[in-house]
């Protein structure tokens, strides 16, 4: 597609519910990142995929967070047993190159984000 698409744009969950956030990256993009952005803060790294391989999940806050990209395109971020501190905007970004290359073309394109509110 023309850009990175995320759904749902807004999600309200009761504490303890499970949620799933979807990311459709730009077609053909190798690298996919998930970031968490709290109100008034910059995006914080969660996890990184190169094609279908999850190469880094060091930013996931707890074992309640899980991400997958089974066919190397669409990715899903799942949060189990949501807590109020999980309330944030979850941003997905993709780039055409493998992340390790210091390439001028290796620019992250972000989606509009999914705003999660946990009551």
Partner 1 sequence: EDQVTQSPEALRLQEGESSSLNCSYTVSGLRGLFWYRQDPGKGPEFLFTLYSAGEEKEKERLKATLTKKESFLHITAPKPEDSATYLCAVRGDYKLSFGAGTTVTVRA
Give the pair of three-digit tokens for residue 62.
């707890």
Q: Does 117 bind partner 1 (CB under 8 A)?
A: no
Give the pair of three-digit tokens for residue 116.
């999660």
How many whole angstroms separate alpha carbon 45 and alpha carbon 66? 14
Q: Which of 12, 18, 45, 78 binds partner 1 (CB under 8 A)?
A: 45
User: Shortest Cβ distance from residue 49 to partner 1 (Å)?
Assistant: 11
Number of residues lying near partner 1 (CB under 8 A):
28
Q: Which of 1, 28, 40, 70 binds partner 1 (CB under 8 A)?
A: 40
Strand partners of residue 49:
32, 54
Q: Which of 43, 88, 116, 118 binds partner 1 (CB under 8 A)?
A: 43
Q: Are 22 and 111 in contact (CB under 8 A)?
A: no
Q: Are 73 and 19 in contact (CB under 8 A)?
A: no
Applying CB under 8 A, the residues found at the interface with partner 1 are 4, 31, 33, 35, 40-45, 48, 55-56, 91, 93, 98-100, 102, 104, 106-113
């Amino acid at each position: 597609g023309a850009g990175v698409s995320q759904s749902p744009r807004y999600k309200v969950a009761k504490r303890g519910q499970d949620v799933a956030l979807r990311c459709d990256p730009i077609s053909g993009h190798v690298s996919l990142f998930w970031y968490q952005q709290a109100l008034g803060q910059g995006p914080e790294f969660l996890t990184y995929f190169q094609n279908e391989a999850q190469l880094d999940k060091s930013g996931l806050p707890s074992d309640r967070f899980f991400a997958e990209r089974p066919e190397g395109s669409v990715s899903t971020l799942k949060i189990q047993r949501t807590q109020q501190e999980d309330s944030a905007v979850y941003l997905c970004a993709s780039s055409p190159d493998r992340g390790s290359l210091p390439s001028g073309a290796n620019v992250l394109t972000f989606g509009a984000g999914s705003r999660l509110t946990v009551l």
